[in-house]
Amino acid sequence: MLVYKLTAGQLTAVSPSQSFASTDQMHLCILDFSELVAVSAQLDIGSRLVEECISGNSCKFESHDGFDFITLSIPDAISGTVKPKRIGIYFRANLLVFASDRITYFADLVDATQTGDIQISSLSKFFHLFFDKLTYDDRDVLIAIEEEISGLEEEFIVAIKNDLVDYLITFRKRLLSLKQYYEQLFEISEAIEENENKLIDKKDLRYFKILTNRINRLFTNVLNLRDYGTQVREAYQAQLDINLNNVMKIFTVVTSIFLPLTLIVGWYGMNIMMPEFHWEYGYPFVIVLCIVVVTGTLLYFKKNKWF
């Protein structure tokens, strides 16, 4: 459990008992989910909100009388091994609480403020810094996904891969989760801008407008990646169709070559007497006839570029 008191633009670590007993000073609390359950009553956080933090699987924003409540469920593609996968935020006057499965992520942010790199004038400023850090490098993740799709596109151009469709389906699932995530995060950012409980300073609201625009661009990039994946899949399917047509063309040419030969065999295979049967050169004649038919057919197909 990490508890800080905000005074004169500085975050100072304090004991939980000091922060919970004081209501006239601004405090920042960073907890894991088990600690949230233990101190929720002291922080006056309802049991329903605690349950939402722990077991919820979506991103949403709730504005209640006197406080805002936010839950974030971050996709694996974004969280990776650094960012939390589940975050609950409780924000009221003089108290900002983060509950997460990775509190070291917030500790790093606090360290940045204490080294003087970032000035914290209010809790709403730290509130914005969290969202700024959460989405700052997301574009790099999307670029990496785009490069993976591009790599698959180059692979199928060189050689048709039977498992390419499976890879593209996997990408579509990842992009679908990202689309839902950024769509919900965009709605949260817009709701924060409304500032119904007046928890965010007016000078800090402009930063949330910038954040909203960034999330909107990320959402648009995800949609573009989905379209790109669809184009790659369609191109791959078209290439499969072309290959299938080439195979069918070969079978058609072979069938067309052997069709007249089949006619000759059927003709001379009739159980009737033919003059050629008693002709000394009858057998060589049929052989030469077959060779001429095959050669003529191949030359005709080649001239018409059928193969």
Q: Is residue 24 part of a domain?
A: yes
Q: Sorting pLDDT into bands at 50, 70 and 90, what band is 160?
A: low
Q: By residue range, what is the domain housing residue 293?
A: 248-303
Report the pLDDT value the prediction gives residue 38, as an integer from 0 to 100.
86
Which CATH number does the domain housing residue 266 bear?
A: 1.20.58.340
Closest C-alpha to 147, from 81, 215, 228: 228
3-state secondary structure of 65: coil
Residue 19, pLDDT score = 58
Please identify, among 120, 143, 163, the residue that sits at the C-terminal boundary of a domain.
Answer: 120
Instruction: Among 91, 120, 149, identify where a domain stops.
Output: 120
Tell me how many domains the chain contains.
Answer: 2
Residue 40 in any domain: the answer is: yes
Going by pLDDT thresholds of 50, 70 and 90, the confidence category of residue 187 is very high
Q: Residue 187: inside a domain, yes or no?
A: no
Among 120, 147, 166, the domain-final residue is 120
In this structure, the number of other CB atoms found within 10 A of the CB of residue 72 comes to: 25
Beta strands 86-92; 95-100: pairing state = antiparallel
Asked if residues 39 and 165 have their Cβ atoms less than 8 Å apart, the reply is no
DSSP 275: G
- Indicate which CATH number applies to the domain containing 73: 3.30.460.20
Q: Is residue 29 part of a domain?
A: yes
Q: Are 230 and 171 in contact (CB under 8 A)?
A: no
* Mean pLDDT on 280-305: 83
Q: Kind of pairing, strands 26-31 and 95-100?
A: parallel
Within-domain flag for 129: no
How far is it, in rounded angstroms, from Cα 250 to Cα 269? 28
CB 212 within 8 A of CB 185: no
The verdict on residue 272 lying in a domain is: yes
Q: Does some domain include residue 199?
A: no
Half-sphere exposure of 279 (CA within 13 A, CB side): 10
* Beta bridge partner(s), residue 88: 71, 99
Q: Name the band, by pLDDT with cuts 50, 70 and 90, for residue 163.
A: low
Query: How do residues 102-157 score in pLDDT, each as one tens digit?
Result: 888 888 788 877 776 667 778 888 888 888 888 888 898 889 888 888 887 777 66
Assess contact for 28 and 126: CB atoms under 8 A: yes
Residue 240 in any domain: the answer is: no
- Across residues 237-256, what is the average pLDDT? 80
Q: How far are the Cα atoms of 28, 251, 269, 286, 294 from residue 291, in angstroms, in the given order? A: 92, 19, 18, 9, 5
The DSSP code for 25 is S
